Structure 1
Amino acid sequence: MSVEEAKKRAAEESSKLVKDGMVLGLGSGSTVAKLIDILAQKLGTELTELYVIPTSYDTEFLARQAGFKVVSLEDHLPELAIDGADEVDREFNLIKGGGGCHTREKVVDYSSQELVIIVDYTKLVEKIGLNKPIPVEVLPFALRPVRKKLSEYGKVVLRYSSKGKLGPVVTDNGNFILDLYYGKEVENAESLEISIKAIPGVVETGLFSGKKVKKVIVGYPDKAQILSK
């Protein structure tokens, strides 16, 4: 329960950044789901209208159920994006994509005026890459050559669903995910992000270099800590 409480603390703190009438980019995952619940409780009181750009079908369903107005990047660019992470280091480099949504998350996050990351304390590390795999979304047509090239960086595993569905995980974009187990600390996230993205057939990587992130809100069971650049 302590981790769940920590997620709630981070979500509560980030909700203070959301203003009435704002266009908000909403990430995916369990901590963002808690943020949606908190914002839904404010709708009709502190918030009269909220326009959201979701990064996954799951987030879109939750946002619609909450009563938010769902819009697209064709309509608006987000003023603020709030997203989670699988790992974040002290330089604000991220690994995302445990839920398979990192491509849409990166599009929304990088197009936002401001990006804030919310995590529980277990996700904060000194350096990313040692414990969590780096998800790489890949065109099914290019699966074999991409897997071969990625293997130069570490162990590569095609992701399968753990919920009984047969076959590999298929993203909201209709692609597969290769998990790259880098096996060591990432010293230069931006360089590695660019190198992997340059492989023909790679759609996007779950590496997010820290240059875009303005704040990281870390939840603990009894408080939330705001880390800023």
Structure 2
Amino acid sequence: MTSTVPASLTRTAEGSALQAVLLDMDGTLVDTEGFWWDAEVDVFKDLGYVLDEAWREVVVGGPMTRSAGFLIEATGATVTLAELTVLLNDKFEERIGRGVPMMPGAARLLAELSAHGMPTALVSASHRRIIDRVVDSLGPEHFALTVAGDEVPRTKPHPDPYLIAARGLGAAPSGCAVIEDTATGVAAAEAAGCRVVAVPSVAPIAPAQGRVIVRSLEEVDLVFLRGLMTRGN
């Protein structure tokens, strides 16, 4: 999904440019990280296995191949990775069909970015079929493009998805503000050279040089993101 990207850049008083905003989906914009765990629990229950709650932090935020592969190995299930991927996507899609709750502050932030013509991309490790369903709920008009986990050579924690999104918006990675909720996503964004705002959801995110951590998107607006460009310069 693409649309015209405004050519002008929004500049701070110090002269640095916020060129684009790149947003994670699950746990950042929509309160669905728990949906994925519920889907995993239900699928493995159907297969005759019980998942250990401690595994929840292991599988959060990563690509499905990593999460599914870990659960197959941990449980000893005989299901293949390809079969499990289909089962998990089916179960998750069934769940979001009953509604997609937004994270606090997400609707306001998306509306503000749109109102100011800020180029915005959705960058997720979820598969295209899931992203399209969620974007229909969020409003496709808010995103100039979307990047799905099954459409990139390497997904998070590799930098590829964010590099692809920045390039697609005609922005330098250093001019992009990324908002993420997991350590995996933060690692991907930082490896890409983006400025990162972490909004932890299921698991905590450790402080680090140049990393900004907030409690919720209610603390984030366009002024905040513009200021991020000069932080630490």
TM-score calculated relative to the size of structure 1: 0.30
- Between Structure 1 and Structure 2, the one with more helix by share is 2
User: What TM-score do the two structures reach when normalised by structure 2?
Assistant: 0.30
**Higher strand fraction (1 or 2):** 1
